[in-house]
Homo-oligomer: A and B are copies of this chain.
Amino acid sequence: MAKDKFALGIDYGTESGRAVVVRVRDGKVLASHVVPYPDGVIDEKLPAGPKLEPDWALQNPQDYLTVTAKAVPMALKAAGVKGEDVVGIGTDFTASSPLPTKTDGTPLCALPQFRKHPHAWVKLWKHHAAQPEANRINEIGRARNEEFIRIYGGKYSSEWFFSKLLQVVDEAPAVYDAMDQFIEAADWIVWQLTGEEKRNTCTASYKGMWVKGAGFPSKEFFRALDPRMENVIEEKIGNDFYPLGAKAGGLTAEWAKKTGLKEGTPVSIGNVDAHVAVPACTVTEPGSLVMIMGTSICHMLLGTRKQMVEGMCGTVEDGIVPGLWGYEAGQSAVGDIFAWFFEHGIPDYIHQQARKEKKPFAAVLEKRAAALKPGESGLLALDWWNGNRSILVDVDLTGTMVGLTLATRAEEIYRALIEATAFGTRTIIEAFDSKGIQVEHLVACGGLPEKNQLLMQIYADVTGRDIKLADPLQTCSALGAAMHGAVAAGAAGGGYDTIVGAAKHMAKVQKLTYKPRKEAHEIYNRLFKEYTALHNYFGRGANDVMKRLKSLKREQSS
Contacts and interface: CB of A to CB of B under 8 A. Distances in A.
Interface of A: 333, 336-337, 340, 343-349, 351, 373-380, 385-386, 398-406, 408-410, 523, 526-527, 530, 533-534, 537-538, 543, 545-546, 548-550, 552-553, 555-557
A399 B409 contact: no
Contacts of A530: 545, 548-549
Q: Give the most central of A345, A404, A550, A555: most B CB within 10 Å.
A: A404
Contacts of A348: 346, 351
Closest 8 CB pairs of A and B: A399-B404, A378-B553, A375-B552, A376-B556, A375-B556, A373-B556, A403-B549, A398-B403
Contact of A557 (B376, B410, B526, B538): B376
A125 to B, nearest CB: 15
B552 A526 contact: yes
Nearest to A533: B543
A482 to B, nearest CB: 32
Contacts of A527: 552
A552 B402 CA distance: 14
Given A340-B408, A402-B538, A530-B545, 4 more contacts: A375-B556, A377-B553, A385-B404, A398-B404
Nearest to A410: B344
B405 A399 contact: yes
Contacts of A343: 347, 349
A399 B410 contact: no
A405 B401 contact: no
A136 to B, nearest CB: 24
A557 B375 CA distance: 9
A554 to B, nearest CB: 9
A530 to B, nearest CB: 5
A175 to B, nearest CB: 27
Given A403-B398, A537-B543, A408 B552 contact: no
Q: Give the most central of A336, A378, A386, A409: most B CB within 10 Å.
A: A378
22 contacts: A333-B406, A344-B347, A346-B348, A373-B557, A374-B556, A375-B555, A375-B556, A376-B553, A380-B549, A385-B406, A385-B408, A398-B403, A398-B405, A400-B402, A400-B403, A403-B549, A403-B550, A403-B553, A523-B556, A526-B552, A530-B545, A530-B549
Nearest to A341: B347
A378 B378 CA distance: 24
B385 A398 contact: no
Contacts of A346: 347-348
Given A375-B556, A552-B375, A556-B373, A546 B344 contact: no
A410 B534 CA distance: 25
Contact of A345 (B336, B337, B345): B345
Contacts of A533: 543, 545
A400 B401 contact: yes
Nearest to A339: B406
A549 B402 CA distance: 9
Contact of A537 (B333, B374, B537): B537
Contacts of A549: 375, 378-380, 402-403, 530
A375 to B, nearest CB: 4
A442 B554 CA distance: 32
A546 B533 CA distance: 12
A401 B538 CA distance: 13
A410 B349 CA distance: 17
